[in-house]
Every structure is written in C-alpha cells, then in structure tokens.
Amino acid sequence: MTGLALRRTEWVILCFFLYAAVYAWFTPAPTQLKCLTAGLNATIIAGYFLLAHAASLRQRRFFSILRDWYPAPLLLMAYRQMGWYAPAEHTYELEKGWIVWDRFFLYDLGAKRAIESFGVVVPSLLEASYSLVYAIPYFSLWVLYAYGQRARADRFLLAFAFSVLAAYALFPYFPSEPPRTVFPGADLPAWMTVFRRFNLWLVGSYGIHISVFPSAHVSGAFSAAFSMRYALPEKPWVWRLLLVLAVSIAIATVYGRYHYLADGLAGLAIAVAGALIARSAWVREQSQIKSSGEPISHSA
C-alpha cells in the first residue's frame, strides 16, 4: 500500500461516518450535537488518512497491525453515535405489526416450547451466544493471525464492516424499541439465567433507543461466518463454528425478546449482501493472481 491509499474496509467505514455527519444535519437535533457529530467524524476521517500516510512513510508492521484492529472499536463508536439521534418518543406502529410474526414463530411453530423442553440448558446456551457477539471480530482476527494469514484481515473486515454499518445506517428509517420494553412481561423466557442477567444489564446500560431494525447482532454474526469462508477457506472449521454461533445468536435475539423476528431476517439479508461482496472480492483477487501468472493459492 503506497501513498494515501486506504484499504477497502477503511473506505466503507469512512463512507459511513460521512453519511452519519450529513444525516445529522437533517434531523431536529440541537445544533451543538450536530456540530459534535460533524467534528468527531471529520476527526475520524482525517485520522484514517493520517494513519495511511504514516504507514506509507514508515512501512512498519505496527501501523499495519493497528489498521487491522482499529475498525472493531470504530464500529462501536458508530453504534453509539446513531443512538444520539433517537426520537423523543416512539409510536410503536412497527412493533405492533412485528409482534404478530414473533408469536407465530414462538408459539404456533413451537419454537419457545422446543427451546425450553430441555430445561435451562438451551436457554443458557442461547443467552451465552448472544453475549459472544461482541467478541466475534476479535476472535476472527486472532484466528487469521494464528494461522499466519494477517494479510487477509481486510478480506474479512470488508464484508463484516459493511454488514454491521449497513444495519446502523438503516436505523433512523425504522424507529423502534425492543419487544421486552414495548410489551413488558409478555413472551419472556421461562428461565432467568446468569447469562441473561448479564445481557439485560448490557443492553440496559449501553443500548440505544433509535431502532432495533435491522438487527446488527444478526447481520454481524452471519457476515463474520460468511466472510471467514473466503478469508480462510482452507480452515472450514472456523466459518462453520461462526455459522453455528450466528444461528444461535439469531434465535437468541427473538427468544430473549431483544429483537423481533423481522429484525433478524433483515439482518440476515444484509449479511447475505455482505457475503456477495466478500465473494466478489475473493474472486477478483484470485483472478488477479491467475492473470499475473502465479499459481492460485489461498494466501493473500
């Protein structure tokens, strides 16, 4: 990478923060908050270009590694920032329609009964899976490092960042609150496990109130599985493990009343779009290797 060239993942992240800054000015939020958003996002964008410039000058491993791990905390920053523009109150019109699908899934299809038929075991596993969603990008990067494939980090992060940020970008257009708060006491899990207590504390302390649609938990989890299939194809156990985790997270979001079924399905659709991006990038890379006359391999 030379000059001020940015990685593909970095372009995705910077486009989101530019979008968020522009969106902020079309909201009724206080001018002070709009200025804060614009200033913060301009700093993030400038910082990325500065980091790319430093990397091109120094050519040191430190800068390359920093660029691998920097996107993950920025995704959390993007999430919190969207929460700044939550509406003062919700009409709950969307939620009244979505709850019908949830109850069909939980009761008519027997999902709730099946989950609870083995006692506390399956509910505990689902809640534990839900807790692990925040560790997914770090785990995925660690695996790439462990197998000596750090050069493929951008291949993984491209689709993952796109899928998470696409969900965030749609939040303002589907203002909504989670079912556990809109319909308090209804359809709740039969077990209050230690994992559920932790999750309720986490979403209660750090959740935002702008929207739950689409589910970024689901889009991020499935996207990680799909993108690792192309980032580390020679180690299929990794993406298969992540896929199992993603399915568990998707079920947990509905069963635990953190999200509506509609949120999860929309998140899955975004993850599929992210998978297509990952596959397209992988095919392009393999085509370039083939055209250069080098043998096609899984290395990047």
State pLDDT tens for residues 70-83.
Answer: 999 999 999 999 99
Do the domain assignments include residue 182? yes
In which band, very low, low, confident or very high, does the pLDDT at 297 lie, cut at 50, 70 and 90?
very low
Cis ω for the linkage preceding 214 (within 30 of 0): yes
Give the span between the Cα atoms of 13 and 74, in whole angstroms.
8
The model's pTM is 0.92
- Model pLDDT, residue 1: 39
Residue with tokens 């999902």: 111
Residue-range definition of the domain harbouring residue 96: 90-291
Q: Taking 80 as the threshold, does the pLDDT of residue 59 lie above it?
A: no
First-residue to last-residue Cα distance in the chain = 13
Find the mean pLDDT for residues 174-193.
96
pLDDT band at residue 294, thresholds of 50, 70 and 90? Answer: low
Query: Which band of pLDDT confidence, cut at 50, 70 and 90, is reported for residue 292?
Result: low
Q: pLDDT digit string (tens) for 97-137?
A: 999 999 999 999 999 999 999 999 999 999 999 999 999 99
Residue bearing tokens 């807790």: 131
Which of 26, 25, 6, 27 has its CA nearest to residue 15? 6
More confident residue, 1 or 16: 16
**Across all residues in the chain, what is the average pLDDT?**
92
Whether residue 295 is predicted with pLDDT greater than 60 in this model: the reply is no
Residue of 167, 152, 163 whose CA lies nearest to 274? 163
What is the rounded average pLDDT of the residues 56-78? 89
CA of 210: how far to CAs of 145, 170, 294, in Å?
36, 10, 50
108 is a domain residue: yes
pLDDT over 80 at 290, yes or no: no
**In a domain? residue 74:** no
147 lies in some domain: yes
Question: Do 41 and 3 form a contact (C-beta atoms < 8 A)?
Answer: no
Q: What is the pLDDT of residues 214-257, one digit of tens each?
A: 999 999 999 999 999 999 999 999 999 999 999 999 999 999 99
In a domain, 59, yes or no: no
Is residue 255 a part of any domain in this protein? yes
pLDDT of residue 109: 97
Domain count, the chain: 1
Q: What is the pLDDT of residue 224?
A: 97
Q: How far is CA 127 from the centre of its chain?
A: 17
Which letter, b or e, does each residue of 251-272 get, where b requires 16 or more Cβ atoms within 10 Å of its Cβ?
A: bbbbbbbbbbbbbbbbbbbbbe
Predicted local distance difference test score (pLDDT) of residue 293: 59
The amino acid sitting at 140 is: S
Q: Which residue has the tokens 């209804």?
A: 186
For 45-57, write each residue's pLDDT tens digit.
999 899 888 888 8
Res 300 pLDDT > 60: no
Q: DSSP code of 152? A: G
Q: Is 51 within a domain?
A: no
- 128 part of a folded domain: yes
Indicate the pLDDT class of residue 198, thresholds 50, 70 and 90. very high
* Interval 84-97 mean pLDDT: 95
